[in-house]
């Protein structure tokens, strides 16, 4: 456990020393949120119109969705790229020779994911609060716990990506593609309700949609659905595979 915490702390410090990565992780989701806010405004659908954004104001829908999107960027782009890069350069080899276990590496990356996603969430909420009059969570503690659980799950998926990607470049490309697709069809782009048939089908296969729903439930005070079950299965399977397939070189 000590090793995980020390390596985690070291990795967080190393993350903070990459200015570009930090700015991207913290600022990009907020910029995207502002663009959507500029497009859709902040008014719920008028009576008689098609009901979108679960009947909420767009920002009440998008703020939690973008919290998830920011976590996805950290877990599916930053972490796999970083891990695959460390593997390519022989950093993991160096750790292994000193008896650092795969679980310690995974735990350290989880610490990075939790820290950076939380920081990014704080920036996003603060930025959005200045401009928009969105709904704050109905159940704040439950929302926070769901958010952290979502980060843990995505870290498992990120681990699998880094194990499968042959190089850091490959990891980055695959992560970016997944992130874009999930942003567009997973609930952080057009509202779920306006997706056409095939898009909806794709959307249902992405973890993104399920995690956005998971966070919307305590945030907007909706009834819990089965999304947590789908995501738990995806995340547990990926995380287990990611650890099993973990490669040192």
Partner 1 sequence: MSDLAISVEGLTKRYGEVMAADGVTFDVHRGEIFGLLGRNGCGKTTTVECLQGLRRADSGQLSVLGLDPRRHGVELRRRIGAQLQESALPDRIKVREALAFFASLVPGGPPWAEVMADWGLADKRDASFADLSGGQRQRLFVALAVVNQPELVFFDEMTTGLDPVSRHVAWELVDRLRQRGTTVVLVTHFMDEAEALCDRVAVFAHHRVAAVDPPARLADRFGPTEVLFTAEGPVEFLHDVPEVDQVRTVGRQVTVTGSGAVLARVGAALVAHGQAPVDLRSRRPTLEDVFLRLTDDGTAEGSAPVEPTAVT
Binding site for partner 1 (CB under 8 A): 2-3, 6-7, 10, 13-14, 17-18, 86-91, 93-94, 96-101, 166-167, 248-249
Q: How far is the CB of 26 from partner 1 (least distance, A)?
A: 18
As a whole number of angstroms, the distance between CA 81 and CA 9 comes to: 19
Report the residue number, 11 or 192, with the smaller CB distance to partner 1.
Answer: 11
Q: Read off the tokens for 27.
A: 């600022």
As a whole number of angstroms, the distance between CA 243 and CA 77 comes to: 18
As a whole number of angstroms, the distance between CA 138 and CA 13 comes to: 34
Report the residue number, 22 or 52, with the smaller CB distance to partner 1.
Answer: 22
Report the residue number, 122 or 169, with the smaller CB distance to partner 1.
Answer: 169
Q: How far is the CB of 89 from partner 1 (least distance, A)?
A: 4
As a whole number of angstroms, the distance between CA 25 and CA 23 comes to: 6
Angle formed at CA 119 by CA 156 and CA 123, multiple of 5 degrees? 130
Q: How far is the CB of 243 from partner 1 (least distance, A)?
A: 15
Q: Read off the tokens for 221.
A: 């005070």
Q: How far is the CB of 197 from partner 1 (least distance, A)?
A: 42
Task: Name the residue among 152, 138, 139, 131 with its Cα closest to residue 228.
Answer: 152
Q: How far is the CB of 100 from partner 1 (least distance, A)?
A: 7
Report the residue number, 172 or 203, with the smaller CB distance to partner 1.
Answer: 172
| H or E element at residue 244 | helix 227-244
Report the residue number, 96 or 200, with the smaller CB distance to partner 1.
Answer: 96
Q: How far is the CB of 157 from partner 1 (least distance, A)?
A: 22
Task: Name the residue among 25, 23, 1, 27 with its Cα closest to residue 113.
Answer: 25
The string over 58-80, giving b where at least 16 C-beta atoms fall within 10 Å of a residue's C-beta and e elsewhere, is bbbbbbbbbbbbbbbbbbbbbbb
Report the residue number, 10 or 237, with the smaller CB distance to partner 1.
Answer: 10
């Amino acid at each position: 456990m000590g090793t995980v915490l020390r390596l985690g702390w070291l990795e967080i410090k190393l993350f903070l020393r990459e200015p570009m990565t930090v700015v991207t992780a913290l600022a990009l989701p907020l910029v995207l949120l502002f663009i959507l806010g500029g497009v859709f405004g902040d008014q719920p659908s008028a009576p008689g119109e098609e009901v979108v954004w679960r009947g909420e104001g767009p920002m009440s829908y998008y703020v939690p969705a973008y919290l998830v999107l920011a976590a996805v960027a950290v877990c599916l782009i930053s972490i796999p790229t970083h891990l695959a890069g460390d593997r390519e350069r022989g950093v993991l080899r160096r750790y292994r020779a000193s008896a650092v276990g795969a679980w310690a590496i995974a735990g350290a990356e989880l610490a990075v994911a939790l820290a950076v996603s939380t920081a990014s969430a704080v920036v996003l909420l603060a930025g959005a609060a200045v401009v928009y009059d969105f709904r704050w969570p109905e159940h704040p503690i439950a929302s926070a716990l769901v958010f952290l659980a979502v980060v843990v799950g995505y870290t498992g998926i990120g681990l699998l990506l880094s194990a499968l990607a042959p190089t850091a470049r490959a990891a980055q490309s695959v992560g970016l593609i997944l992130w874009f697709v999930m942003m567009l069809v997973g609930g952080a782009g057009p509202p779920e309700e306006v997706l056409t048939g095939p898009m909806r089908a794709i959307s249902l296969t992405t973890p993104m949609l399920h995690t956005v729903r998971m966070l919307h439930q305590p945030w907007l005070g909706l009834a819990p659905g089965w999304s947590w079950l789908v995501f738990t299965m995806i995340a547990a399977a990926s995380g287990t595979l990611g650890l099993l397939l973990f490669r040192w070189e």
